[in-house]
Chain A
Amino acid sequence: MKLTHREVDGIMILEPRGKIMGGPDATLLHDQLHDFIKENKKKVVINLAKVDWMNSTGLGILISGLTTMKNNGGELKLANVTEKIESLLTITKLITVFENYDSLDEAIKSFS
C-alpha cells in the first residue's frame, strides 16, 4: 500500500493505493492519523477509490483508524468504496459503523 494525503477545506484526505494488508500498512496509517491528531486536524476521509482489495488485517487497520479518531474526538469517513470492499463491509456489518460516501465531494460536504 502507498499512502498520500492532502487537505481540502480543513479536511484531511488520505489516499491509499493498492492492497491494504497487514504489517507496515498498519503503522503507516496509524502514524499518519496520529500526526493529524497532533496537528489538531480531526476530520479525515479515507478515499478508497484506488484500493482494490483488503484482507482481514486491512479491515482491522480501518477499524483501529476509526477508533483512534473517535477516541480523540475526531471523525473518520470513507469515500469511493469499491464493490469488493463494500461487500466486505456489508458481510461484516461494518457498513453500519463506517460512514461511507459514493464520492469524495459528498464525504467532504458531510462534515459541514
Chain B
Amino acid sequence: MLNVILSLVFALSGAVLILLSGIILRENPRGRINRVTAMMLFFAGMAPVMATIYYSVIAGSGSDYSPRVLNFFYIWELFFPSFLLFSAIFPVENPLFKRRRRLFYLAFLPHIVHLILVLFFSDPSGLLSKLAIKSDIPIFGILLEYIGYILALIVIGINAIFEFHVRFFSIINLVYIVVASIFLYTGYRNVANPRIRQQVKIITYGIRIALGLYILAYIIPTIFNIELNPQLQYMMIIIGLLVGPGFIAWAILRHRFLDITLIVRQSLVYTVSSAIVVGGYLVAMSQVGRFLSSVFGGGLEVFQVAIMVIALLFFQPVLNFVDTSLRKLFIKGKTDYRVILEDFSSKILTLLDINKLIDETLRTIGDELLIERVFLALPTDNGNYSIHSFSEEVETKIKKDRVLESFLIVREAPVTRDDIPAPALSATIREFLRNKKTELIIPLVASHRLIGFIGLGRKASGMGYNSEDITIFKVLASQLMVAFSNARLYQESLERQRLEEELALARQIQRQLLPKSVPRYGNIKFATYSEPSREVGGDFYDFLMTKTNRLAFGIGDASGKGIPASLLIARMQAILHSVANSDLDVSAKIAHINNVLSMGSSEGRFVTFFYGEVDTKADRIQYCNAGHNYPILIRQNGDCEYLKDGGLLLGVFGDVSYVSQAIEFSRGDLLACYTDGVTEALNEKEVEFGEDRLLDVLSDNRHLPLDKLQETVLDSIKLHCNGYPIQDDCTMLIMRIE
C-alpha cells in the first residue's frame, strides 16, 4: 500500500515538473533563462519519475533487474549542476558567470563522467572476467596477461570509486546546492522591482525547502552513514517533491514568473485541477470499493460499475468547481492582465483630472504590468511633446516630429522598436528614444489625430513583447483614448463654466450700474434700452442732476468685454458722479474725467462717452462727445444733425482738451444716443445695420410715442439681422421734449 501511494505521489510530482519544464521551454525556446529553467525542472522531474518506475515496477516484481537499469536513475543528478547554472543567471546574471562561463558548464562534467561510469562500467568484476582471454600464442599470452594486470588495476580503482561514489557525489551535490543558494541570495538582493523580488523569493523558498528536505533525508545520512527511519525519509522526500514544483507553479501563476502567458497559465490550472480531481476520484473509488466489498463481500465488479457511473455523472461539475476555485485563487489576481485592465479602465473613466490620469496610466504600466522606463508623450500647443515619465517627477519637453506623428497615426497599433523608421526621425527624437531604451510605442489615435503616445522600455522580466502583450496594449490604448478625451472635454466644460460664471458676474455688474428708472425732468420723456451681448461688453448710460439743476445724461462704451469692461465702466461712472455735481463746465468735466481715468487705466483700455446737460428753461443742450458714436438729433421738421463735437475718447491720453457745444433742443425735437452695437448689428451676409438705416427709421417714426419708437427701431434691427446673433451690447437712450 505504501508503495502505491508513494508511486502515485512520485508520478504526480514528476509529471508536474516535466510539464512545467515543457511549458517554460515552449514559452520562449530561445530564451536562455527558459532553457536553463526547463532543463533544471526536467532533471528534477526525472527523480520522481524514476522513483515511480522503481516502486511500481521493480520493487514489487521481485525479479532481478540488472544494476545497470538502476544506475540509469543517476541521470537525475544532472539536476544539481543545472540548478547551479540556474542560480548563476536567475534572477540576474551573476558577475562570476559573466567572467567564467566555462566554469559553470564544467560543473556538469563530474556528473556526466559519473553517469558514464555507472552505466558502462557498473560491473568491474564482470569486466575483469571478460578480459581474462587465453591466447595460444605465447607472446600475445604474456602481453595479454600484462594488459590484464593493468586493466585489473584500473578495475580495482573503479571498484574503489564505486565503494564510495554515492557518498562522494552526495558531497559534490551538497556543495553545488550551497553555492547555488548563495548565488540565488545575492541575485535576489540585487533585484529592485518588488514584483520580481516576490517571484524570486517564492522560487528560492520552494527550492530551498525541497533541497533542505532532500539534504536532511538523503545527503547527510549518506555522507555520515546514518540509518534513518525509511518512513520519515520518504515523508521528507515527498514533501520536498511537492513543495519544490508547487512553489514554482505558484510563482508562475500568481506572479507571472518568466512572463508565462495567460493561456498557458490557464491550461496549467486546468491540468492541476484535473489531476486533483482524478487523484481524488481514484482514492475515493478504491476506498468506497474496498468498504463495499468488505461489507458485502465479493461482487466487486458490480459495485465498481455503479461507482463508475456515479463518478462519471459528477465528474464534470466537480472538475468545473475545482477549476473555477483554483482560477479565482491564482489567475484572477494582480498578475492577470485582464484584471489589471478591468481595474484600470474602471478607474480611469472616473479620473477627469488629466494629471491624475497621466499618473495612474504610468503607475499601472510601470508598477502592475512591470515595464521599465515608461513615458507618456502628449502634444502641446507650441509644437512640443510634454514627456511624463514613471518614477520621474519632472516633466520634460521635446520637439514634435512630423514623421513619427504621421507614422503612428497610420499604424494606429503598438509598434516595436524595429518597426520605427528611425533614420527618418529627427535627431532629438532618436536620441530621446535611445536614452529611454524604448522597445514599444503605443499610439493614442483618435479620429486621425495623435493625442499622445506611450513609450515602453524593457519588461522587468527581461522577456520580449509577445502577441498577448500587444493585444493588451491595444485594449489599453483604446481605453486611454476615451479617458483622455473625456478628461479634456471635462476640462473644457470646467473652463466654460468658469467663463459662464464670469460672464454672469459681468452682466450683473453692468445691470447694477444702469439706472433703475428713467428720471422725471420737466416735460422731457425718455426711452432707454440696454441689452448686453452673450460676451457682455461695456455699454452703459446714466442720468444725474447737476448743481445748477440741469439734467445730465451720458452714454458710453468701454473697450473690451466681460469683467474688465464692466470694471472700467464702474470706475468711469464713479468719476462721472464725483464731477457731475461740480461747478465745472461740460468740457472741463469731461477733461477731468479723462485725466482721472487715464491715470489708472491699463494700456489700450478706453471709454467712448457722450455727455450732455439739458436745460429745459433755455431749450438747450450743452454736450461734449468724447469719441462716441455721433448721437442723432432730429428736429420736429425732419432736419437732422449729428452731435460730433468734443474730443478724444477717454482714458488713454491725459491732458487732452475738449470742447463743448450748445444746441437748441425744443418741443418735438428728438435726440437719439446709441452705442456701436446698434449700428454694427450684422446680418448673415455680414452687412451692418448702419447709421443710415438708423437715421431713416428714426426720422420716419419720429412722431410715435417714445416707447413705440424704440420698439420700432429694435424691430427693424431684428428684421435686418434676420436671426443672426447680435455680437455686441446694444444700448439706446432716446429723449424728446413733449
Contact A63/B560 with A91-B627, A91-B628, A93-B646 known, Cβ cut-off 8 Å: no
Interface assignment of A60: CB less than 8 Å from any CB of chain B: yes
Residue in chain B with minimal CB distance to A95: B648
A 42-73 contacts with B by CB, 8 A: 55-57, 59-61, 63-64, 67-68
Q: Which residues of B contact A97 (CB under 8 A)?
A: 648, 653
Interface window among B230-238, B417-425, B602-610: B602-610
Pairwise interchain contact B647-A93, C-beta atoms closer than 8 A: yes
**Which interface residue of A26, A57, A67 has the most chain B CB atoms within 10 A?**
A57
Q: Please classify the interface of chain A as helix (H, G, I), strand (E, B), loop, or mixed, using the class held by over half of its residues.
A: helix
B 561-598 contacts with A by CB, 8 A: 561
Partner of B649, one of A26, A55, A67, A94: A94
Interface assignment of B557: CB less than 8 Å from any CB of chain A: yes
Partner of A56, one of B559, B630, B646: B559
Interface string of A31-48 (1 = CB under 8 A from B): 000000000000000000
CB distance from B237 to the nearest CB of A (A): 81
Pairwise interchain contact B606-A93, C-beta atoms closer than 8 A: no
Interface string of B529-565 (1 = CB under 8 A from A): 0000000010000000000000000000101110000
Interface assignment of A22: CB less than 8 Å from any CB of chain B: yes
CB distance from B719 to the nearest CB of A (A): 23
Interface assignment of A96: CB less than 8 Å from any CB of chain B: yes
CA distance A57 to B649 in the complex (A): 13
CA distance A64 to B626 in the complex (A): 18
CA distance A96 to B627 in the complex (A): 11
Chain A: interface size category:
10 to 19
Q: Which residues of A contact B557 (CB under 8 A)?
A: 56
Interface string of B614-649 (1 = CB under 8 A from A): 000000000000111110000000000000001111
Pairwise interchain contact A93-B560, C-beta atoms closer than 8 A: no
Pairwise interchain contact B646-A63, C-beta atoms closer than 8 A: no
CB distance from A21 to the nearest CB of B (A): 10
Q: Which residues of A contact B36 (CB under 8 A)?
A: none
**Which interface residue of A60, A68, A92 has the most chain B CB atoms within 10 A?**
A92
Pairwise interchain contact B608-A92, C-beta atoms closer than 8 A: yes
Partner of A91, one of B561, B629, B652, B728: B629
CB distance from A61 to the nearest CB of B (A): 6
Q: Which residues of A contact B561 (CB under 8 A)?
A: 22, 57
Pairwise interchain contact A93-B603, C-beta atoms closer than 8 A: no
Pairwise interchain contact A92-B603, C-beta atoms closer than 8 A: no
Pairwise interchain contact B606-A60, C-beta atoms closer than 8 A: yes
Pairwise interchain contact B629-A60, C-beta atoms closer than 8 A: no
Pairwise interchain contact A60-B605, C-beta atoms closer than 8 A: yes
Pairwise interchain contact A64-B649, C-beta atoms closer than 8 A: no
CB distance from B84 to the nearest CB of A (A): 70
Residue in chain B with minimal CB distance to A61: B604
CA distance A92 to B728 in the complex (A): 18
Q: Which residues of A contact B649 (CB under 8 A)?
A: 92-94
Pairwise interchain contact B648-A93, C-beta atoms closer than 8 A: yes
CA distance A68 to B652 in the complex (A): 12
CB distance from A39 to the nearest CB of B (A): 21
Residue in chain A with minimal CB distance to B608: A92
Residue in chain B with minimal CB distance to A71: B603
Q: Which residues of B contact A91 (CB under 8 A)?
A: 608, 627-630
Q: Which residues of A contact B605 (CB under 8 A)?
A: 60
B 399-420 contacts with A by CB, 8 A: none
Contact A57/B648 with A64-B603, A93-B627 known, Cβ cut-off 8 Å: no
Pairwise interchain contact B604-A60, C-beta atoms closer than 8 A: yes
Pairwise interchain contact A60-B646, C-beta atoms closer than 8 A: no
30 contacts between A and B (CB under 8 A): A22-B560, A26-B604, A55-B728, A56-B537, A56-B557, A56-B606, A56-B608, A56-B676, A57-B559, A57-B604, A59-B559, A60-B560, A60-B604, A63-B604, A63-B652, A64-B604, A67-B603, A91-B627, A91-B630, A92-B628, A92-B649, A93-B627, A93-B646, A93-B647, A93-B648, A94-B627, A94-B648, A96-B648, A97-B648, A97-B653
Not counting A57-B560, A57-B561, a sample of 13 additional A-B residue pairs whose C-beta atoms are within 8 angstroms of each other reads: A22-B561, A26-B604, A56-B606, A57-B559, A60-B559, A60-B603, A64-B604, A91-B628, A92-B606, A92-B649, A93-B647, A96-B648, A97-B648
List residues of chain B with CB under 8 Å of any chain A CB.
537, 557, 559-561, 603-606, 608, 626-630, 646-649, 652-653, 676, 728
